[in-house]
């Protein structure tokens, strides 16, 4: 649509952008501002707002000096350390398979992507059965090769690895398609030149494939670090923070403080501490990318 007059252009742009601007302000900026204010308040969600009491940084001090935060950080980072390398490995591996032509490739792609479109509620119910210590499918498979599997979700030691296994199963297909798109963009002449030089398959992977898809891998690392620090649905549904608090993570604590104990001040302070961690880790990643990410075509 051509609008010749500049004033009319500005009016048209404003009209088209207004719904989005209202949405951003109403559902993003105002909640962020409200959480910043609530983090400085002693506020019970069930009480009228005029009962709020300003306490300054007391909520932050209470969290930082308490015994709970170190455990929450430990469990969150345990999830992240287990999840990040495995999701990168499985995503790249699956994408390399999908990048090849073979009979049944479409069916394989459908099977790989099906977990992505499955809701976490349904997936968690299935995985609670798969990871059952006595009757679970995984332990039955392990018993075939003579391994006695643990009571995954009822063990403090194995509950978080069990959640990570379920998360990798669910997320790999999505990230594999991102890696596959990067693989498709690589010029085939690079591989042809490497074959002429007598490069092995492993050499082509390490010298051509991985460097050329490093921007995509960098994106996956940033996304999954942010996701790992904000893991919530799988933990809440599969273990509810148990057993014995072994899977308590940041968003699980925020949810329970806000909507179980109705302590909005503590919940908001927790959310800003989490924001600070995400900001620090993202900044570190963008700093380190200069050493290994290759943007040359």
Residue 4 confidence (pLDDT): 58
Q: Is residue 9 part of a domain?
A: no
Residue 51 confidence (pLDDT): 87
Residue 50 confidence (pLDDT): 84
Q: Is residue 25 part of a domain?
A: no
Residue 3 confidence (pLDDT): 52
- C-alpha 160/C-alpha 155 separation (Å) is 9
**pLDDT tens column, 1-20:** 455 567 777 788 888 889 99
Q: Is residue 45 part of a domain?
A: no
Residue 224 confidence (pLDDT): 95
Q: Is residue 168 part of a domain?
A: yes
Q: Is residue 285 part of a domain?
A: yes
pTM of the predicted structure, to 2 decimals: 0.90
Q: Is residue 72 part of a domain?
A: yes
For tokens 């949405």, the residue is 23
Low-confidence ranges of the chain (pLDDT < 50): 1
Residue 219 confidence (pLDDT): 94
Residue 291 confidence (pLDDT): 87
CATH code where residue 274 lies: 1.10.3720.10
Domain that holds residue 220: 63-292
Q: Is residue 91 part of a domain?
A: yes
Number of domains in the chain: 1
Residue 5 confidence (pLDDT): 62
Q: Is residue 211 part of a domain?
A: yes
DSSP for the chain reads ----SHHHHHHHHHHHHHHHHHHHIIIIIHHHHHHHHHTTEE-BTTS-GGG-EE-TTHHHHHHHHSSHHHHHHHHHHHHHHHHHHHHHHHHHHHHHHHTS--TTHHHHHHHHHGGGGS-HHHHHHHHHHHT-TTT-HHHHHHHHTT-----GGG-TTTHHHHHHHHHHHHHHHHHHHHHHHHHHTS-HHHHHHHHHTT--HHHHIIIIIHHHTHHHHHHHHHHHHHHHHT--HHHHHHTTT-STTTT--HHHHHHHHHHTS-BHHHHHHHHHHHHHHHHHHHHHHHHHHHHH-----
- Signed CA dihedral, 88, 90, 93, 97: sign only: negative
């Amino acid at each position: 649509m051509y609008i010749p007059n500049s004033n009319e252009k500005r009016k048209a742009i404003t009209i088209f952008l207004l719904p989005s601007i209202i949405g951003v302000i109403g559902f993003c900026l105002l909640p962020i501002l409200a959480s910043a204010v609530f983090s400085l308040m002693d506020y019970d969600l069930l009480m009228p707002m005029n009962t709020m009491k300003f306490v300054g940084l007391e909520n932050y001090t209470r969290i930082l000096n308490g015994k709970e935060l170190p455990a929450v950080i430990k469990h969150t980072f345990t999830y992240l350390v287990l999840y990040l390398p495995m999701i990168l490995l499985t995503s790249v591996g699956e994408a390399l398979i999908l990048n090849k032509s073979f009979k049944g490739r479409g069916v394989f792609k459908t099977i790989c992507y099906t977990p992505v479109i499955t809701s976490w509620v349904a997936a968690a119910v299935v995985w609670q059965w798969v990871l059952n210590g006595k009757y679970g499918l995984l332990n039955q498979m392990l018993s075939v090769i003579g391994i006695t599997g643990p009571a995954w979700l009822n063990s403090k030691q194995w509950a978080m690895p069990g959640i990570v296994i379920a998360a990798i199963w669910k997320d790999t297909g999505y990230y594999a398609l991102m890696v596959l798109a990067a693989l498709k963009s690589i010029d085939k002449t690079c591989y042809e030149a490497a074959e002429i030089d007598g490069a092995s398959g492993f050499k082509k992977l390490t010298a051509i494939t991985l460097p050329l898809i490093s921007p995509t891998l960098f994106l996956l690392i940033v996304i999954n670090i942010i996701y790992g620090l904000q893991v919530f649905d799988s933990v809440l549904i599969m273990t509810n923070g148990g057993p014995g608090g072994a899977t308590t993570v940041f968003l699980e604590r925020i949810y329970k403080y806000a909507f179980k104990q109705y302590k909005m001040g503590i919940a908001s302070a927790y959310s800003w501490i989490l924001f600070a961690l995400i900001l620090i880790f993202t900044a570190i990643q963008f700093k380190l990318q200069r050493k290994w990410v290759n943007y040359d075509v």
